[in-house]
Structure 1
Amino acid sequence: MIIFDHVGKKYEGGFQAVQDVSFQIERGELLVLIGPSGSGKSTTMKMINRIIPHTTGTIRVNGKDNTTYNPSELRRNIGYVIQQVGLFPHYTIAQNIALVPQLKGWNEKAIEERVEELLLLVGLDSELHASRYPKELSGGQQQRVGIARALAAKPDILLMDEPFSALDPITREELQKELLTLHEQLDITIVFVTHDMDEALTMGDRIAIMKDGRLLQLDTPEKLLYEPAHGFVEQFMGKHRIIQNPELMPVTEIMAETVTTAHPNLSPERALSLIRQKKITDLLIVDRQSKLLGAVSAYDLIKKMDHIQTIEEIMTPIQPILTTKATSKDAIILMDEAPSGLIPIIDDTHQLIGLVTRGSLLTAMSSQWTEEVVS
């Protein structure tokens, strides 16, 4: 458990980076900190392991004031993953992962077993990757190693500072899913900083929205959307008057009409090339009459492409689906049920005419809210 009690951070010169922040992170929770640039989200997270010392208030980690810990020992017991990964270039992958257990005095056999266990856990083959160097790995593989290194000494807290923001969309979604699986398996407390609302909605048990060093609201994604406690929260989450107004906006007004589609007989290689080119994570499958048949996720495609001839073999039904008669409110309500964060829009003949994603929905809602404020 982590408790912030009236915590602040003031730098020399008078700049107040974080102001009077109080909240509690439950054991085993995945909490996302989000806000615009300069909001204090990364500073707040870094005060937990004292990379940045707080100047007022108290931070308790597992019931103990974090200033009473030896700083080095505190950091060795809290995993830390950053955007740039930070692997040591002249160390092998195994040596990078083994670093903290070595500092904590683990014996060689225990370290070797832990390295092998963690590489398997993050989806890397120990025989293929343990002896390689970071420059020989892709960005996604390096980030997997970064996560493995952070977990090496079996910490009960993991801090993640925009860990996936530099990755391509396919790799990013894959690692998001695998981190959620790890979180469930390990029952570890994770504090995750991001600037991306889609990522926050995907990852967070709760989301803390910050602005100008202040915590404006900390709640579940659903409560932030439907019960914002502050005007900025309402704007940032993209909440719109349609949640309250009986005159609802048609879903056709917020959908994207240009949708990347493919036919079911497409080869997996061409499908993956199309996905990468369009920077999407799910490919909608239609027949020759543009009738919606299903979807193929980039995640499934990468995992199974060596075992299939056409994408039809891994195509899955897609739910939920909305018709042109639906409203934007319908899309908001159903978005939580959309596992890939997208809802196809079809007409009466089942032809695909558009698509609503979590990101486009929030952008549209935020845009409408801004127009109302300006007017």
Structure 2
Amino acid sequence: MIQLDSLTKVFDTPKGAVVAADHIDMEVPAGEICILIGPSGCGKTTTLKMINRIVRPSSGKVFIDGKDTTDMNTQDLRRSIGYVIQQIGLFPNMTIEENITVVPRLLGWDAPRFKKRAREMMDMIAMDAEVFLKRYPSELSGGQQQRIGVARALAADPPVMLMDEPFGAIDPINRAVIQDEFLKMQQELNKTILFVSHDIDEAIKMGNRIAVFREGKLVQYSSPDDLLAAPENAFVESFLGEDRALKRLNLVKVRDVVSNEIGTVRPDETLETALARIDDFGYQNSILMVNDRHQPVGMITRSVARTTKGYCRDHFQAAPPLASLDDDLRKVASLMFAHDTTWLPCVDEQGRVSGQITQRAMTRHLGSRYRSRSEERIHAGREE
């Protein structure tokens, strides 16, 4: 959807020419979010602004959906691209409805159509149209204004969106909420998005691809997983931080690591049966008790099963914390640390046991990715 072909910007200053963006080559497939990240002054925002011509390129081209935008009318180009900035930029003398419908009105939409669109956008960003549409920006919180900024950028249904640190001015709690809401919207909208950020954790969470910039140059352009597993050089490695292996926990879902080898007992089975099944799964010191719907209802420990007679229904402890198949490994690791355990049962959307996840399996999964990338590099070095 977006292709940058040797895109370059040189600024003339009293001290001479400054290269802000140096022959940037990138392709962003339709429906993906690409995060531009790097230290201050590295060229990421300049690159973003050249796409909608807020900054005019010194050389190079921008293609959108295969079309060269060089000779496009600047106003038409900008109206076809959604744009969100950190400062939000809502018009203070306009109502929220008027702010959201700015571009549709410029495009000649009739009143019933753009008013309907404003209400659709309010539903999409989880704000009550009856409460907020007639208010002014000054009557909203910073987080609410940011949501309106996103709604305004989406109102005319542009295929491409540019976002310049859109959540940077919001407090951490609201930022996480808005990020999650935006990702849910993206699953439905499937927009192609270039997104400038200074936060590597935000980049990993939000991006399908990450472009790392340094001194006007594109240093590495990879998926988040590839970026963390195989930094291109020492600069990228230092930028990612020493905890980059832990950052990968955000990228892996439980369903990628879950094992279906898990022992269970029913309430009407004996403790002797429970002990035998615990022994069958020798690395565990307990076993899960499930009901007729195969949902966890408790846990039998080895010590109880070995020293007590009777039925499981009379001697169980509370069920351990559960992991959903769609949880990421960061949440799982947090639960394991908090509850001093090395394994968790996993459940599906109906709450039925579908397997287990262990600390060892998580370590192996993450480690195998690093080992494979290291082997690829060694092999490539030998071929050279």
TM-score (norm 2): 0.65
Q: How far apart are 1:338 and its partner, in Å? A: 2.2
* Aligned pairs, number: 264
Question: CA 1:123 to 1:15, structure 2 compared with 1: closer, same or farther past 3 Å?
Answer: same
How many Å apart are 1:336 and its aligned residue? 5.5
> What is the CA deviation profile of residues 206-226 of structure 1, one whole-angstrom value per residue up to 9, with x for unaligned ones?
111001000000111111111
In the other structure, the counterpart of 1:338 is 330
Following TM superposition, by how much is the alpha carbon of 1:190 offset from its aligned partner in structure 2, in angstroms? 1.0
1:101 is the counterpart of 2:93: no
How far apart are the structure 1 equivalents of 2:241 and 2:71? 41
User: 2:191 maps to what in 1?
Assistant: 188
CA contact (8 A) 2:200 2:240 kept: yes
Does the CA contact (< 8 Å) of 2:228 and 2:244 recur in 1? Answer: no
Task: Give the drift of 1:337.
Answer: 2.2
* Alignment counterpart, residue 155 of structure 1, candidates 144, 150, 158: 158
Q: Give 5+ residue unaligned stretches, structure 2.
A: 247-319, 343-384
Say if 1:177 and 1:149 are closer, same or farther in 2 by CA, change over 3 A.
same
The answer (yes or no) to whether the contact 2:10–2:58 under 8 Å persists in 1 is: yes
Q: In 2, distance between residues paired with 1:240 and 1:121?
A: 35
- Please tell me whether residue 127 in structure 1 is matched to residue 130 in structure 2: yes
- Match in the other structure for 2:9: 9
**Is the 1:225–1:239 contact (alpha carbons within 8 Å) kept by the matching residues of 2?**
no
**Could you tell me how far 1:6 is from its partner in structure 2?**
1.1
Q: Counterpart of 1:5 in 2: which secondary structure?
A: strand
Deviation at 1:343, TM superposition (A): 6.4
5 Å-filtered alignment, 1:1-375, equals: 1-13=1-13, 14-238=17-241, 317=321, 337-339=329-331, 345=337
Checking the alignment, whether the CA contact within 8 Å between 1:225 and 1:238 is kept in structure 2 is no
SS at match of 1:67: coil
User: In the aligned structure 1, how far is the partner of 2:340 from the partner of 2:107?
Assistant: 64
- What TM-score, normalized by structure 1, do the two folds share? 0.66
* Maintained 8 Å contact 1:101/1:153: yes
C-alpha separation in 1, matches of 2:76 and 2:117: 20
SS of the residue aligned with 1:68?
Answer: coil
How far did residue 345 of structure 1 move?
Answer: 2.6
Per the TM alignment, residue 96 of structure 1 is displaced from its structure 2 partner at its CA by 0.4
Asked if 2 retains the 8 angstrom alpha-carbon contact of 1:122 and 1:144, the reply is yes
Q: Give the RMSD, CA atoms, in angstroms.
A: 2.4
1:68 maps to amino acid: D
Kindly, what percent of the aligned residue pairs are identical? 46
Tell me the secondary structure at the aligned position of residue 11 of structure 1.
strand
Q: Whose radius of gyration is greater, 1 or 2?
A: 2
Give unmatched runs, 5+ long, in structure 1: 244-315, 321-334, 351-375
Deviation at 1:238, TM superposition (A): 2.1
SS of residue paired to 1:15: strand
Q: 1:240 to 1:181 in 2, by over 3 A?
A: closer
